[in-house]
C-alpha cells in the first residue's frame, strides 16, 4: 500500500462553511490547505486591473499567457505581488464567478491546482475540486446549508473584514452566485457522486470538523484492513 497521505476535497456553495471547516480539518490532520477559489480570485483581480472584460477574447488569452500565478495553497501571488488580502471583495467575487465559466481561465489554473495536490496530505477547498480538479481524490466532502444560514454567515464574514453591506444584498448575491455556479457549462458546481454530504445549517464548525475527521479515520481503517 502506498504511504502517500490522502487527497481530500471539500466542495459546496458560498456561505456553507466549507472554508472554515477545511482550514480546521487541514490543521487537525497536519495537512496543507489548498484554497482553489483564491487562485481564481487572483486571476480575476489581475483581469480587473488590466481593464479587460470577462469574456473569451484574444486579449484575455494574451493576458493569461503573460500572467505569473503562484500559490502556496492559501496565499496567492500575481506577477510576484502577494494579493491574498485584496481578493475578498464582492466585486472580485462577481468577476470571479464570470471568469470561471471561461475555458482559457480554467486551463490556466487547474494544472497548478493539480500539481499542488499531487503529493497528497492536502485538503482542497472549492467548487469543483472533487469533480474536476481531483476526481480520484481519496475522500470527498460536499458541504451545504440553507440559504438563510449561508447568507448570515457570509454577511458576518464581510463585516469582520470591514465590508459594509446589507443582509438582503448578501442573500441576493449568494442566490445569483449559486445560479451562475450551478448553471455554467464548464465545471459546474455539483455534488460528486461519491461525496460525503454534510448539511451544516444547524452545526457549529467543531461539529462539522469532527464528522469529517470520523470519515477520514474510517477511510484509513478500511485501507489498512
Residue 135 sits in which domain range? 7-224
2 found inside a domain: no
Task: Sheet with 69-71: list strands edge to edge.
Answer: 69-71, 76-78, 81-82
Question: How confident is the model over 160-179, as pLDDT tens digits?
Answer: 888 889 999 999 989 988 98
56 found inside a domain: yes
Instruction: Indicate if the pLDDT at residue 86 is higher than 50.
Output: yes
Distances (CA, A) of 196 to 117, 134, 211: 20, 15, 10
**What pTM did the predictor assign?**
0.87
Question: How confident is the model over 50-70, as pLDDT tens digits?
Answer: 999 999 999 999 999 999 999
Q: What are the grid coordinates assigned to 137, written together? A: 481524490
Indicate left, alpha or beta for 4 from its phi (over 0: left) and psi (-120 to 50: alpha).
beta
194 found inside a domain: yes
1 found inside a domain: no
Residue 122, domain CATH: 3.40.50.300
Instruction: Indicate if the pLDDT at residue 42 is higher than 60.
Output: yes
How many domains does the structure of the chain reveal?
Answer: 1
84 found inside a domain: yes
Amino acid at each position: 500500500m502506498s504511504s502517500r497521505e490522502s487527497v481530500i476535497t471539500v466542495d459546496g456553495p458560498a456561505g456553507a462553511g466549507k472554508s472554515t471547516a477545511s482550514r480546521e480539518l487541514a490543521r487537525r490532520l497536519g495537512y496543507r490547505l489548498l484554497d482553489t477559489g483564491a487562485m481564481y480570485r487572483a486571476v480575476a483581480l489581475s483581469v480587473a486591473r488590466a481593464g479587460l472584460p470577462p469574456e473569451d477574447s484574444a486579449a484575455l488569452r494574451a493576458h493569461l499567457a503573460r500572467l505569473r500565478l503562484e500559490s502556496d495553497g492559501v496565499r496567492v501571488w500575481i506577477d510576484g505581488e502577494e494579493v491574498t488580502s485584496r481578493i475578498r471583495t464582492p466585486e472580485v467575487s462577481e468577476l470571479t464567478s464570470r471568469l470561471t465559466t471561461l475555458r482559457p481561465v480554467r486551463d490556466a489554473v487547474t494544472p497548478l491546482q493539480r500539481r499542488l495536490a499531487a503529493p497528497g496530505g492536502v485538503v482542497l477547498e472549492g467548487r469543483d475540486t472533487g469533480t474536476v480538479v481531483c476526481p480520484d481524490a481519496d475522500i470527498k466532502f460536499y458541504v451545504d446549508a440553507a440559504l438563510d444560514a449561508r447568507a448570515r454567515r457570509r454577511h458576518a464574514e464581510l463585516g469582520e473584514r470591514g465590508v459594509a453591506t446589507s443582509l438582503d444584498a448578501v442573500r441576493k448575491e449568494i442566490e445569483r452566485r449559486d445560479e451562475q455556479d450551478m448553471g455554467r457549462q464548464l465545471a459546474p458546481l455539483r455534488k460528486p457522486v461519491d461525496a460525503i454530504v454534510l448539511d451544516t445549517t444547524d452545526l457549529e464548525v467543531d461539529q462539522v470538523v469532527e464528522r469529517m475527521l470520523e470519515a477520514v479515520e474510517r477511510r484509513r481503517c478500511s485501507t489498512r484492513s
